[in-house]
């Protein structure tokens, strides 16, 4: 069984299909992650209070991103399968559904957070210094929310139709601009006043706006799928039921998951400024590893969805099996790299010695956990959704987050008053065990294969697939 697994994993045809997708998508996400990395690095020079404040303020954009990701992930189910079936008409209608949701979402959060930044900060901390610094950051950073949501809609369209280089290029330009503007606005050079954390928020707002503008300009030059008559993009009559029947569970999945994570951080944010500053840095570094999983997961979603949409069910199952086998190997390798570099990486940040020690400990915990941590992520986001199954992920996250993970954090952090590191470890154990127990058996049943449309089939919601189990673990 192991021999077959390794043969599958290192098959040349698999990598010939996966590699051109994984690398550009991973690079795009690495560049987007650099927004947070640059913010954290430069703000880190201002001290623990500033870095913790920006980390807490970042949960507002996190909620926007997760809701937007839920919508784009639900839409990706359609775009990838319609792409496999060569159905351009419904690809454009899916694009219209995304924009109809993303634009109001970005506007609501921009206005809401812009008007009530203090309320947002008080959700996470009662420390007056943290609230004050966080408000200064949010007053500018909230402007980025609209461009963030529109950017995700456009990049989802391009990725799922295998035009992955455009988002990668524009993300690189935006990331470079963000780094330059951060330096100028935070520290006050070239005649600009030193704005501190407010400068980081302003830099994020400006550079975020550049990304979707550049993607649209390149798309216009190439005359690709995202440049089409509005009458085709918003020809949504009769499409709402089809779309929301699959997309709504994904959106609810991300909403309830993000809500639980926000709740978790309300607890962790009250367990000490040093601890949360360390956690902010650890998550920033962990995010550098996570981008490779995002690349793999997106490539999996595209190839599995395209195969199933084209009616090639066996090929879709093959891609799913190979990507799932890749997840633990990648996790172990990336965990080993990060734990080996933990001292120089943490040394980049101007933290107190206590916070540095905590951050290094958190990175060791991440390295130990990494081999299993992202298996459920690949299954739910990369495989099940690509196959057309969107309800099981919602069920999995509601059970794991609200029955196991949130109660664990509340009990450990607020009731039993356990140390921060102990609370963090028990949170990860609750996360990993609950999700693996739920997702692995379901993967083996193959009931996640639910085509939206096969090639040559235009008027069916679902094609029943009779398939035997296909164990991988």
The lowest-confidence range among 287-291, 343-347, 385-389 is 287-291
For residue 468, is it within any domain?
no
> Are the CB atoms for 94 and 234 separated by under 8 Å?
no
Rounded-to-integer distance, Cα 308 and Cα 381, Å: 15
Q: How far is it, in rounded angstroms, from Cα 21 to Cα 302? A: 9
In a domain, 138, yes or no: yes
3-state helix, strand, coil in the chain (%, to 5): 80, 0, 20
What's residue 370's pLDDT?
93
Query: 365 and 424 in contact (C-beta within 8 Å)?
Result: yes
Q: Which of 290, 291, 289, 294 lies closest to 31, judged by CA?
A: 291
| Percentage of the residues of the chain whose pLDDT score is greater than 90 | 52
Q: Is residue 99 part of a domain?
A: yes
Cβ atoms of 160 and 25 closer than 8 Å: no
pLDDT at residue 144 above 60? yes
pLDDT at 58: 82
Q: How far apart are CA 191 and CA 352, in angstroms?
A: 31
* Contact yes or no for 120/266 (Cβ under 8 A): no
Given a cut of 90, whether residue 295 has pLDDT beyond it is: no
Which phi and psi angles does 388 have, rounded to 5°?
A: 105, -5
Q: Convert the pLDDT of each residue in 22-43 to its tens digit.
A: 888 888 777 777 666 776 778 8
In this predicted structure, the answer to whether residue 142 has a pLDDT above a threshold of 50 is yes
Tokens representing 313 are 């069910």
The pLDDT tens digits for 406-435 are 999 999 999 999 999 999 999 999 999 999
Instruction: Give the model confidence (pLDDT) of 61-114 as tens digits.
Output: 888 888 898 899 889 889 988 988 889 999 999 999 999 999 999 999 999 999
Which pLDDT band holds residue 6 (cuts at 50, 70, 90)?
A: low
Q: Tell me whether residue 155 is in a domain.
A: yes
How many domains does one find in the chain? Answer: 1
Vertex 152, ends 147 and 158: CA angle to 5°?
Answer: 125
Residue 248 covered by a domain: yes
Tell me the HSE value of 319 on the side-chain side, using a 13 A CA sphere: 30
Q: What is the pTM of this model?
A: 0.80
Whose tokens are 């610094």? That residue is 133
Using 50, 70 and 90 to split pLDDT, how confident is the model at 9?
low
Asked if the structure places residue 42 within a domain, the reply is: yes
SS3 361: helix
The predicted structure's pLDDT at residue 342: 94
d(CA 436, CA 345): 30
**Is residue 290 packed enough to be buried (19+ CB in 10 Å), middle (13-18) or exposed (0-12)?**
buried
pLDDT at position 135 is 92
State how far the Cα of 315 lies from the Cα of 89, in Å rounded to an integer: 25
- pLDDT higher than threshold 90 for residue 129: no
Structural domain of residue 331, as residue ranges?
2-445
Residue 192 has φ and ψ, to the nearest 5°, of: -85, 150
pLDDT at 459 over 70: no
Of the listed ranges 18-27, 154-163, 355-364, 403-412, the least confidently predicted one is 18-27
Q: Residue 116: inside a domain, yes or no? A: yes
Give the 3-state secondary structure of residue 388. strand
pLDDT of residue 7: 62
User: Is 272 in contact with 88 (CB distance < 8 Å)?
Assistant: no
Confidence of residue 468 (pLDDT cuts 50, 70, 90): very low
pLDDT at 472 over 60: no
Residue 454 placed within a domain: no
Rounded Cα gap, residues 352 and 24, in angstroms: 37
């Amino acid at each position: 069984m192991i021999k077959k697994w390794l043969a599958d994993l290192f098959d040349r045809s698999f990598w010939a299909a996966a590699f051109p997708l994984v690398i550009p998508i991973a690079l795009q996400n690495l560049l987007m992650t650099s927004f947070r990395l640059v913010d954290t690095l430069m703000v880190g020079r201002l001290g623990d209070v500033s870095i913790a404040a920006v980390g807490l303020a970042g949960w507002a954009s996190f909620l926007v991103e997760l809701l937007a990701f839920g919508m784009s992930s639900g839409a990706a189910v359609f775009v990838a399968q319609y792409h496999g079936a060569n159905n351009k008409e419904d690809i454009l209608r899916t694009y219209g559904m995304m924009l109809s949701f993303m634009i109001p979402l970005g506007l609501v959060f921009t206005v809401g957070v812009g008007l009530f930044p203090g309320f947002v900060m008080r959700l996470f901390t009662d420390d007056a210094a943290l609230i004050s610094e966080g408000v200064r950051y949010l007053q500018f950073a909230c402007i980025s929310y609209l461009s963030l949501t529109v950017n995700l809609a456009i990049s989802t369209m391009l990725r799922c139709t295998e035009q992955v280089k455009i988002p990668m290029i524009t993300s690189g330009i935006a990331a470079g601009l963000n780094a330059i503007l951060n330096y100028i606005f935070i520290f006050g050079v070239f005649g600009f006043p030193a704005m501190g954390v407010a400068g980081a928020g302003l830099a994020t707002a400006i550079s975020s706006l550049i990304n979707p503008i550049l993607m649209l300009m390149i798309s216009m030059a190439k005359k690709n799928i995202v440049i089409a008559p509005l009458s085709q993009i918003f020809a949504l009559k009769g499409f709402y039921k089809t779309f929301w029947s699959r997309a709504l569970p994904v959106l609810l999945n991300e909403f309830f998951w993000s809500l639980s994570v926000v709740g978790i951080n309300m607890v962790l944010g009250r367990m000490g400024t040093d601890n949360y500053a360390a956690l902010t840095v650890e998550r920033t570094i962990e995010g550098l590893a996570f981008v490779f999983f995002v690349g793999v997961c997106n490539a999996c979603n595209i190839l599995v969805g395209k195969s199933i949409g084209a009616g090639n069910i066996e090929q879709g199952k093959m891609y799913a099996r190979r990507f799932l086998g890749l997840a633990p190997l990648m996790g172990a390798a990336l965990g080993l790299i990060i734990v080996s570099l933990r001292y120089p990486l943490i040394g980049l940040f101007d933290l107190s010695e206590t916070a540095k020690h905590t951050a290094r400990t958190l990175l060791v915990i991440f390295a130990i956990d990494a081999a299993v941590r992202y298996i459920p992520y690949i299954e739910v986001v990369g495989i099940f959704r690509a196959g057309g199954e969107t309800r099981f992920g919602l069920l999995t996250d509601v059970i794991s987050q609200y029955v196991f993970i949130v109660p664990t954090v509340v009990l450990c952090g607020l009731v039993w008053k356990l140390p921060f590191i102990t609370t963090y470890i028990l949170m990860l154990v609750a996360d990993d065990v609950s999700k693996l127990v739920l997702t692995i058996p379901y993967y083996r049943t193959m009931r996640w294969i639910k085509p939206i449309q096969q090639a040559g089939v235009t008027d069916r919601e679902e094609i029943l697939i009779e398939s035997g189990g296909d164990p991988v673990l």
